[in-house]
Amino acid sequence: MVVVRHASIAIVGRFQPFHLDHLQLVMYGLTLADKVIVGITNPDNRSLKAVATNTHRHQPSANPFTYLERLRIIDAALRCAAVATDRYEVVPFPLDDSRVWADYIPYSTPQLVRVFSAWERDKAATLQRGGYVVELLQGDPEQKISASDVRAAMAVGQPWQHWLPSGAAEVVASLPGESLQQRCAHLDHER
């Protein structure tokens, strides 16, 4: 089997918040490419839409962090993991508007999607229909860290830091404004 090394590879997601599984996926991406482009989907919460394969992703409680906060969280996690700044870039990626995708991630950049459920399969198919080459990585649902679980712990004041990489947890804990409990309220919509 011949492994093709790419100039860059993209990993897109909401990252609400960026957790250890996300970091692991970026690190794997760096074994495949010189650079990873991390695309933050739903950069504008006003554009959130319901989808059949992920019924909570459009709920306010599933989106407690702004685009800029997520950018800071991801940057801190990657810096703490000793990823050189020239090996990654964090960009907005409006997943629900394929007309602008190439403005953020060139179509020549393959997308790396780890599949745990129908939602990720649907996202991969959407990216392929939109013009990207998609590389699938099968995930183990039994070992998956769920951002919903992280937010649920935040909502009730339970420990959540162990699910986040170094740097990311510190940024989340230092965010100004509403408390994490307030940001993640109304979790009954997610279950």
Taking only the tens place, the pLDDT of each residue in 77-121 is 999 999 999 999 999 999 989 999 999 999 999 999 999 888 899
Q: What is the pLDDT of residue 42?
A: 86
Q: What is the pLDDT of residue 47?
A: 65
The token duo for 182 is 């307030």
pLDDT range class, residue 162, cuts 50, 70, 90: very high
In the chain, where are the structural domains located?
6-189
Query: What digits encode the pLDDT tens for the residues 44-68?
Result: 866 656 555 444 555 666 889 999 9
| b/e burial code for range 151-180 (CB count within 10 A of at least 16 → b) | bbbbbeeeebeebbbebbbebbeebeeeeb
| Separation between Cα atoms, residue 125 and residue 79, nearest integer Å | 31
When the candidates are 3.40.50.620, 1.20.1250.20, 3.20.20.120, 2.60.120.260, the CATH number that belongs to 6-189 is 3.40.50.620
pTM over the 0.85 mark: yes
188: pLDDT strictly greater than 50 = no
118-152 pLDDT tens trace: 889 999 999 999 999 999 998 887 888 989 899 99
Question: Can you read off the two tokens belonging to residue 31?
Answer: 């074994």
- pLDDT value at residue 96: 87
Residue 167 has pLDDT above 50, yes or no: yes
Predicted confidence (pLDDT) per residue in 2-45, tens digit: 556 789 999 999 999 999 999 999 999 999 999 999 999 988 86
User: Contact 19/148 with Cβ under 8 angstroms?
Assistant: no
